[in-house]
Structure 1
Amino acid sequence: MAKSKPSSAPNRSESDSEQANDRGVTLSDQAYNYIVQSLENGSLPPGTRLRETELAADIGLSRTPIREALNRLMSEGLVTNDPKRGLIITELDQNMVGELYEMRRVLESTAAALAARHATDVEIAVLRQIIDRDETLDDPAALSYNNRLFHQTLYQCAHNRYLLKTLQVLQNAMLLLGKSTLAESGRPSTAREEHAQIINALEQRDPDKAQEVSSRHISEAYKVRLSRFLLDRK
């Protein structure tokens, strides 16, 4: 297993796998969060083989919550059962990348339209503060974090718990793509302008415009992503 990893949880017995801590997080949740965070920080990149015993030792849990977390990750598409290698972090092909971005375009544009109807003035102001922060950032990792924060806040602004849950799963799946497209030359300033257009539509309380500019934003991000994906395959 890779060296870089989130802090481990204390060792527990298998019968405790569904017991929650003070924040309502079960041992299975802890294992799930550990693997997602490891995917995000690059210590478990796509193609990495996952072994229950190694994960249990790394996290400090028994195998039962590890198994439950892996089953959940498989249902969400983050983990695949490869016939030759066993359980691995999912590797995306070109079709899967396209499908992922198409779902993101549909769901995020819907969230933007709902946000134009339901977001409070304070929530919209927070979105504006987030993109203003971009002006002070030049590190790709910091820009990526701020970008993720913008989109997560936009999802919250939709005030639809079912859409929010679906988008959170989709956001985790996006981690399979690796580095953000904001690492590409010129993309940060373009994305910032696209984010500003979304906020303008929210401020105008125009759902159709919000949906349109959000859809275009994801389509542009997909073009950059696909270009990098194809170049990396050469």
Structure 2
Amino acid sequence: MPRRSTTHHPESSNSVRRRAYLLIQRKIASGELKAGTLLSELALATELGSSRTPIREAVGQLLAEGLLELSPGGGIIVTQLTRQAIQDLYELREALEVFAVGRVAQNGIRSSDRERLNHLLAETQVLLKELKSSGAQELNAGQMKRFTLSDLSFHALLIRLAANARILKVVNETRLMIRIFGIQRSGHKREELERIHRHHKDILQAVIDQDVDRARKLLADHIQASANERLDEFDLWERESQLAGLDAIEALQLQ
């Protein structure tokens, strides 16, 4: 009787490259690799348990997507977003999401999808109740993580309902790039959370009513408000960085 082959099939190169891509992307999104950080191919390959080849291939893809960039010294660093880059990303996100929500409102949504969107809205209400009962001024890290997940899911589901996978992919990449700077922020305050919940609720109602123009306008206003918040945060961060630099120079001069 012939023996059954026990040949071990190594993990495909595509699978390893995908794991390398997700590893680097996750480190950027979590803040482990901060903006301006120099990448070490050797360290990443060691962590992944692979050669440097899939790391280099993943880096090439992330360079094309804008999450990584070449440093003046020739290395690869995590992209440091400029103010203009943040504004450009929000404008791109607005154009794509407004188109998508208009299509969804025009076509209408099923009751099951309405329930899923309402469930995501309910998570924000839970967080608001937790803030009120605790007396805290803003969401803590764990709560902010829950909010971010529900917020991303709300927007992503609306785009999925538009049945355009390319729009969803670009918007997801855009939001990830914005979070490169956003991870430095503190948690949402109660008034911010209330505003976002109100915006989401009104957008959903316009979609349910199949009011295309209102759905588009509400979502555009919502994204523009988020963009203005993020730009204000960037301006504050930039001022604080400049002041810190001046303080360091002054300290050196006094030595």
Q: Shorter-normalised TM-score: what interval?
A: 0.7 to 0.9
Q: Is the partner of 1:45 in helix, strand or coil?
A: coil
Higher relative contact order, chain-length normalized (CA < 8 Å, sep 6+)? 2
| Amino acid paired to 2:117 | L
Out of 144, 150, 160, the residue aligned to residue 148 of structure 2 is 144
- Whether 2:39 is the aligned partner of 1:34: answer no
Of 163, 170, 183, the match for 2:187: 183
Distance (Å, rounded) in 2 between the aligned partners of 1:84 and 1:180 = 25
Choose which of 116, 131, 134 in structure 1 pairs with 2:121: 131
Q: When the two structures are superposed, what TM-score results if normalisation uses the length of structure 2?
A: 0.78
Letter in 1 for 2:119: Q
Correspondence for 1:224: 229
Query: Which ranges of structure 1 fall in alignment gaps of 5 or more residues?
Result: 1-11, 19-25
1:220: how far off? 0.4
Structure 2's unaligned 5+ residue stretches are 1-8, 132-142, 240-255
For 1:88-130, what per-residue CA distance to the aligned partner results, in whole angstroms no more than 9, with x for missing partners?
1100011111111111111111121122134333112211110
CA distance in 1, matches of 2:20, 2:56: 9
Alignment partner of 1:214 is 2:219: yes
> What is the number of equivalent residue pairs in this alignment?
215
Q: 8 Å contact 2:68–2:77 — kept in the other structure?
A: yes
1:213 maps to a residue whose letter is L
Alignment partner of 1:47 out of 4, 29, 36:
36
Greater helix content: 2
Correspondence 1:154 to 2:143: no
The aligned counterpart of 1:17 is 13
Q: Which residue of 2 aligns with 1:114?
A: 103
C-alpha distance 132-81 of structure 1, shift in aligned 2 (>3 A): same
Q: 2:126 is paired with a residue of what secondary structure?
A: coil
- Following superposition, the deviation at residue 181 of structure 1 comes to 7.0
From the superposition, tell whether residues 56 and 207 of structure 1 become closer, same or farther in structure 2 (CA, over 3 Å). Answer: same
Report how far residue 161 of structure 1 moved.
2.0
The two structures, once aligned, show a CA RMSD in angstroms of 2.0
1:170 is aligned to 2:159? no
Give, in whole Å, the separation in 2 of the partners of 1:149 and 1:102.
20
Q: Is the 8 A contact 1:49 1:88 kept in 2?
A: yes
| Structure 2 residue aligned with 1:76 | 65
Q: SS of 2:183's equivalent?
A: coil
Contact 1:112–1:154, Cα closer than 8 Å, also in 2: yes
- Kept after mapping to 1: 8 A contact 2:86/2:178: no
Residue in structure 1 matched with residue 242 of structure 2 by the alignment: none
C-alpha distance after superposition, 1:106-160 (max 9, x if no partner):
1111121122134333112211110111111242222122211211212212111
The offset of 1:85, in angstroms, is: 5.5
Work out whether residues 67 and 177 of structure 2, in 8 Å CA contact, stay in contact via their aligned partners in 1.
yes
Q: Is residue 31–residue 65 contact of structure 1 (8 Å, CA) maintained in 2?
A: yes
C-alpha distance 222-167 of structure 1, shift in aligned 2 (>3 A) = same
TM-score, reference length from structure 1? 0.85
Structure number, greater radius of gyration: 2
2:31–2:183 Cα contact (<8 Å) kept: no
